[in-house]
Amino acid sequence: MARRTKEQKRLDDLVSRLCQNAMNGYQISIMDIGKLSKAGEDAAKSGKSDSEIESAINAARDQYAKAS
């Protein structure tokens, strides 16, 4: 496995943190949690800013979650 750069690690940590924050107060099926991460990872890979990554994760959350 190749080593990750500092930027890749930063983006991985950012996506993870944003996904956790996005799920607070929502009920999300365990089968759909990965879709939030994928939305964030796809946005990060396309070179989007941190706020655009957060928006992509929140849009995925709104699509798959039920408010509790």
Q: Where are the domains of the chain?
A: 6-21+30-67
59, pLDDT greater than 80: yes
pLDDT digits (tens, 9 = 90+) for 9-19: 999 999 999 99
Q: Which residues contact 25 (CB under 8 A, 6 or more apart)?
A: 67, 68
Which parts of the chain fold into alpha helices (H)? Answer: 6-23, 33-45, 50-64
pLDDT of residue 66: 74
* 59, burial (CB in 10 Å: exposed 0-12, middle 13-18, buried 19+): middle
> What pTM did the predictor assign?
0.87
Q: Could you give the CA distance from residue 28 to residue 42 in angstroms, rounded to a whole number?
A: 20
